[in-house]
Amino acid sequence: MFSWLGNDDRRKKDPEVFQTVSDGLKKLYKTKLLPLEEYYKFHEFHSPALEDADFDNKPMILLVGQYSTGKTTFIRYLLEQDFPGMRIGPEPTTDSFIAVMQGDVEGVIPGNALVVDPKKPFRKLNAFGNAFLNRFVCAQLPNPVLESISVIDTPGILSGEKQRISRGEGLRTAVRYNMSRSGDLMQSQDFNKFQPLKNKLLETVDEMLAHDIAHLMILVRQEETQKPVQMVKGGAFEGTQNGPFGHGYGEGAGEGIDDADWVVARDKPMYDEIFYTLSPVNGKITGANAKREMVKSKLPNTVLGKIWKLADIDKDGLLDDEEFALANHLIKVKLEGHELPNDLPCHLIPPSKRKVIE
């Protein structure tokens, strides 16, 4: 008589063990949600049942918009290459729905073949009829971007009457067809005989939402941490993980890293004024005079020592006006709470000394 208690406990102790999130979702759908959908004829009134392909396929991006807004150009930019069936131009060019997907060989699969392929998530589109399928193709090609996502290019949406007429009305026909089909279905149903409430089916779904899905969410995080970290390839950010969004990029000692001008030059006139009060000889001030000024920052001697080493670029024990400005710049960086670099980054080296260093 306490079977409900036993049931519930067992569930908490031994949640279903799944290898991957998509396997888990697939199994949960088939064992817990699908029976409910079937019982209430959800597939007849609303949408067809999900198939394996709906779980196994990559996330899909559908690009929708006015014609000539650059939808196809955008896809080409993402892929960094052309795709079969691609047409770009000022006038309505893409006149079909093109599913751009990963494939070992480059090629185009027509819509009629796509809707019978159980590995592709397009089988339900069969319902839209030939008018639509004639305007639906899959462009297959090997591409690293497509290993993670699929993209669907669509014909531009037309507002003008002239263009609308000159184009096929596949989509419009398909929508009309589906609306009349659902109308017919509703009429043929006897709502007095609609299935009575079956609590067990609802409880199963409740349980799935409360326990199984929660368990899968943990698995999502695990899968993500196990993924190899993708490094940026090529360009100024080669080898970094987050490009310009990496920790500390462009801040503190990294400020001015992308600028053509030496970042220290911005405040150099201010530092120069102090420099000329420190009795420079042949354009350089002594360590003792520099120290007198630098301790005013109240930074600990260990930090100032590090700044001195970074700033005395030619290691002659003296600071010229550029080195002194650099020392003050580094003091500012430290006072603003940033870390000091162990080696002076290239962009902080005064331009006049860059040749000396190389």
357: contact with Ca ion by CB under 5 A = no
Which lies closer to Ca ion via its Cβ, residue 168 or residue 280? 280
Nearest to 209 by CA among 55, 15, 4: 15
In whole angstroms, the minimum distance from the beta carbon of 281 to Ca ion comes to 13
Where is 45: in which H helix or E strand? helix 42-45
Q: Find the shortest distance in angstroms from Cβ 357 to Ca ion.
A: 13
In the bound state with Ca ion, the residue whose beta carbon lies nearer, of 121 and 350, is 350
Cα 91 from chain centroid?
31
Residues 6 or more apart from 354 whose CB is under 8 A from it? 346
Q: Which residue has the tokens 């220290």?
A: 264
Q: Is 314 in the site for Ca ion (CB under 5 A)?
A: yes
Please say which residue, 293 or 312, places its beta carbon nearer to Ca ion.
312
We find the least distance from the C-beta atom of residue 311 to Ca ion, in angstroms, to be 8
Give the one residue of 312, 329, 331, 348 binding Ca ion; rule: CB under 5 A. 312
Binding of Ca ion by 322 (CB under 5 A): no
Q: Which residue, 213 or 357, is less far from Ca ion as judged by CB?
A: 357
Name the one range near Ca ion by CB under 5 A: 19-27, 259-267, 287-295, 320-328. 320-328
Partner residues linked to 330 by β-bridges: none
Give, in order, the Cα–Cα distances in Å from 224 to each of 21, 218, 219, 230: 11, 10, 9, 12
Q: Is 166 left (phi over 0), alpha (psi -120 to 50) or beta?
A: alpha
Considering the complex, state which of residue 67 and residue 324 has its C-beta at the smaller distance from Ca ion: 324
Burial of 36 (C-beta count, 10 Å sphere; 0-12/13-18/19+)? middle
Q: Which residues bind Ca ion (CB under 5 A)?
A: 312, 314, 316, 318, 323
